[in-house]
Structure formats: C-alpha cells, structure tokens
Structure 1
Amino acid sequence: MKAARKEAKLTQVQLAERVGIDQSVISSLERGKYRGSSHTVAIAYALGVSPRWLSSGAGEMRETSNVSNLLPRRPAEGNAELIDHEVIEGSEPLRPDEVMLPVFREVEFAAGDGCATQVIENHGAEERFSLPRLSRAGVQPENAALAIVKGDSMCPAINDGATIGIDKGSRSVVDGKIYALDHDGMLRVKRLYRMPLNRVRVVSENSEEYPEEVYSLADPDAPKILGRVFWWENFD
C-alpha cells in the first residue's frame, strides 16, 4: 500500500480523504498493524491499483483491462444513476473486483429411522460476488456467504427465491435487523428483537400469515444465528 501511495504521489492524509476514512487507518495498514480492512477495495480504487494485488500481492499491480471498469460511474442526466450489477454469473475468470462466496444450503442426511435436514455452508456450491458491495457494507470477504430464501414469510422485503448476503462475523442481535438462522436444520430468514432474560423475538415481514415467535437463546430448540443479512436481491 505504501509503495502504491508513493507512486500515486499522495500523502496518507490525502489518501484517507479520497477514501473517506481516518488517516490513522491508512497508517495502521501500512505499518502492518492490521492484515486486512473492509476499505481495501476503496483504497485500491483511489490508488488506481488492483484490489487483489493490494490485499494479497497476487497478479499485476495494475490490470488495465479491468481497473478502468471498476471506477465509480458518473450520474447520468436527470435523476437516474448508472450502477453495476453486484452478483456476477458466468464461468469466466474472476476479475479483481470479484470474490467467490460459499452458499448455505439445506441438505438431507440419514438420522435414525429416517432423514433429517441440516444447514451446511458451501457443500460444493459457490457464487461470484462483488467486492465493492462487501466493502460498502463493511463485510470482510472471509465472513461473507450467500443463501437462497424460500417462501414468502419475508415478503415484500425479501421475495421467494431471492439471493441474500450473510455476514457471519455479525451475530450479535441488533433490534430490527434481518438475520439468517439455522433452526433445527431449516434455513430461516427473520427480523430479530432482543427481550429481557436472554430471549429474542423472531419476526416475519409477512406477519399476518406468520405470527412472531419468542425463544430463549439458552434453549436447545432456539434457532442458531448464522449471521446478519447485509444484502438481498429483489425482483417483481
């Protein structure tokens, strides 16, 4: 980072101003105090270098065929603004602004006299995702995963079949936020609210058809929090 900053003829203060963070963050990263940062992609854009090179040293410092496409686009005339798609499909090689994320899935396994369901991360499934999206959400790539929502309990906020992004590093309950849950082998997506005595309210967006539930987090039958949902795909 220091080499790229020097080449760009920027001081730590100037780089911090471009990224919108405190100068102390730049200083700590350059001194090796932190191994990574949620601002890595934004810093790479400000320096005009590959995010992959900046974070790991892999590839070229500047990948000219890609870097120009990663810069924020200017607003179009009127009130419309051009934005890039965030989930990328296809079998072409990863771009510097992409990462492969594991996918949570429900799978069946033999249990006693029949079959049971278990929520398993990855299980061989991965999808491309945008590093800028993770950076804007403050999510570390190693803590990110995807899942597919089933059912209409979270409509109209999250529709049946939508892809969601899960921050596995954020499992503390913040009232009203949406979380992915492993509930006895079932993958559920709900809003959570804290209650006294270590209890939690589990609330569906479609509350008319799906009444809220209350659990004690110490109860073995309570849902297990997989992580906070930081992004979801919606469509009509």
Structure 2
Amino acid sequence: MPVNGELRHRIERALARFSPSWEGRDAARRAIALKMLILCELAGGRLRVVDALGINDNTLDNYRHGKTEPRHSTLNMMAELADVPIEYLGNDWSVEEGIIHFAPPEIPPAGFSEPSPLWNLADRVFIPAYEDETTGQLSFEPHDATWAAIPQGFWAKLLVDPGNMRVLFAKGDSMSPTIVDGAPIFVDISDRKLEDGRVYLFDVGEELIVRRVQRLPHGSLELLPDNLERYRPQHAPKDSLADLKVVGRVCAASRIL
C-alpha cells in the first residue's frame, strides 16, 4: 500500500516519535504497536481515533508506545476505521520508502520424518505434530504424533524454545479468517498464562479448541472465536478458571493456499 504526501510524513513522524520506546519489548508487542501506529494515521489521526473508539489520548499513546496491548476488538475497529482489511491484522507489517507492506507470516511448510525430538538435520529442528483423522478433531495424544521439520531461523522469530513447541492442524472455520481450516498451528505448551487478546489452545474434554482470550471486569473471561458470525463466545466465570485446561499459546498459524 503506497502512502504519499502528508500521510507519508505523518507516519514517518509517528515512527520517529514512538519506535524508540519499543526497544526491549518482545516481538509480538512491537508488532502490535507498529500496527496501532499505522492504523491511527490511516484512520485520520489521533483526534478521529479517540473520538471514534471512545478512548483517551493516554490509552492510545500507550498502545503506540508498546506499553499495553489493545483488545482484539479494538484492533478490528481500528482496521475498519482505517479501511484496512481485517485479515491483514494477522500479517507482518513494515514501512519502507512510503510503502506499507502487509506480508503473510513466514511459516515454512512442514516436512515429515521419524527422528527423536529436537534432532537437528542441517538447519532444521524436528518437533511433534498431532492430528486425529478418525474424529476430525485436534488431538494431543503421543500415539497420534508425526514429526514436523522446521528451519531453525523460524524459532528466532518466534522467541520460543523448540522443545516447548507442538504443531497441530486446524479443523473448521471458528477462527477464520485468522486461522483457516487445515492450517498448521504452532503452539507453545510452556506458555499458559492467559493474556488479553492472545490466542490459546484449550482442552475442553472431547476436543481441543482454539480461542482468543478477552479479560472482563471482576476477573472472568470470554473465549472468543474470530468467526463471530457463525460461532458464539464462551464465558468462563472467575470461580471456574482453575478448571480451565490451557494447553498453550498459539504463536503462529499458516494459511493453506
């Protein structure tokens, strides 16, 4: 997306102002801060955004500084206000010489073999990949495992220990357009601390489901499908959170083209 004239200058000025505060923050927080910064300018600037979203200046600045993360619903509203397709929110954004790039995440194709976990072959690491073809649901049992061969450079981008990573394959469209049917899902099983706006894999007994977390007042949670047109959110009261089985955080998902 090319940006010219005053809009380009506004984005460049905003980058010069806010990007120094991103140093030291994790990759996910920096990526969201960049998206909020760009969306703010594409939407017409700070005043229009705070008025349309009903937030104050400090809240918007905290998003752009990377101090806090907006809720998924806030990002969606920003994208709509800026006339940016919502599905682009799952891409990697960058700005270079007056062009905004929306690049699909660089998820390598999975190759399959039968080595032991973390066996390096050239520049690749092998990790377990699970799928239960008989029920059509995601499975996390060792007897269902094959092995996915992933380039080592991929881990540096995700900042995840390969020993804690598992690959599963999405079933259905509940998380569409973020995660499409059949897409490989990369799950960090060491990260079970539920953070607002992030996506996690949950064990609900008969199946595993992927949902986005939204924290509510008084400590309760909403487990949100991204496809809200066809699926309903699931409410998790505060007093039942101890029984919520979190398998891990979804770090990335690849589109099947």
TM-score (structure 1 length as normaliser): 0.54
Which residue of 1 is the match for residue 221 of structure 2?
Answer: 200
Query: Could you tell me how far apart the structure 2 residues matched to 1:177 and 1:163 are?
Result: 17
Structure 1: gaps of 5 or more residues: 1-19, 22-77, 109-114
1:27-48 Cα deviation digits (max 9, x unpaired): xxxxxxxxxxxxxxxxxxxxxx
Q: Are the equivalent residues in 1 in contact too, given 2:138–2:171 (CA < 8 A)? A: no
Corresponding residue of 2:168:
147
* Cα displacement string for residues 25-73 of structure 1 (whole angstroms, at most 9, x for unaligned residues): xxxxxxxxxxxxxxxxxxxxxxxxxxxxxxxxxxxxxxxxxxxxxxxxx
Query: What CA deviation, in whole Å up to 9, does each residue of 1:135-169 have, x standing for no partner?
Result: 21110011111111100111111100111100111
Q: Which residue of 1 aligns with 2:128?
A: 102
By percentage of residues, which structure has more helix?
2
CA distance in 1, matches of 2:133, 2:180: 22
The residue that corresponds to 1:165 in the other structure is 186
Q: Which runs of 5+ in 2 are unaligned?
A: 1-22, 25-98
Shift of 1:119: 4.2
Instruction: Tell me how many residue pairs correspond in the alignment.
Output: 153
Say whether residues 1:120 and 2:146 are aligned partners.
Answer: no
Change (3 A) 1:216 1:193: same
Instruction: Pick the structure with greater CA Rg.
Output: 1
- Please say if 1:182 is aligned against 2:206: no
Distance 1:91 1:184 in 2: 29
Q: Do 2:114 and 2:146's aligned partners in 1 also have CA atoms closer than 8 Å?
A: no
Structure 1 residue aligned with 2:177, among 135, 138, 156?
Answer: 156
What aligned pairs does 1:51-90 form with structure 2 within 5 A after superposition? 86-89=108-111
Q: Contact (CA 8 Å) 1:139, 1:167: kept in 2 or not?
A: yes
Q: What is the aligned partner in structure 1 of residue 87 from structure 2?
A: none
What displacement does 1:97 show?
2.1
Equivalent residues in 2 for 1:45-56, closer than 5 Å: none
Select 2:250's aligned residue among 193, 211, 229.
229
Paired AA for residue 120 in structure 1: F
User: Cα gap change, 1:202/1:85 in structure 2, threshold over 3 Å: closer, same or farther?
Assistant: closer
Tell me the secondary structure at the aligned position of residue 219 of structure 1: helix
1:209–1:84 distance in 2 versus 1, CA, 3 Å: closer
Shift of 1:190: 0.9
Give RMSD over aligned pairs. 3.7
**How high is the TM-score relative to the length of structure 2?**
0.50
Q: Is the 8 A contact 2:113 2:148 kept in 1?
A: no
Displacement after TM superposition at 1:104 (Å): 3.7
Summarize the Cα distance change of 1:222–1:161 in structure 2 as closer, same or farther, 3 Å threshold. Answer: farther
Cα distance change, pair 151–221 in 1 and its aligned pair in 2 (3 A) = farther
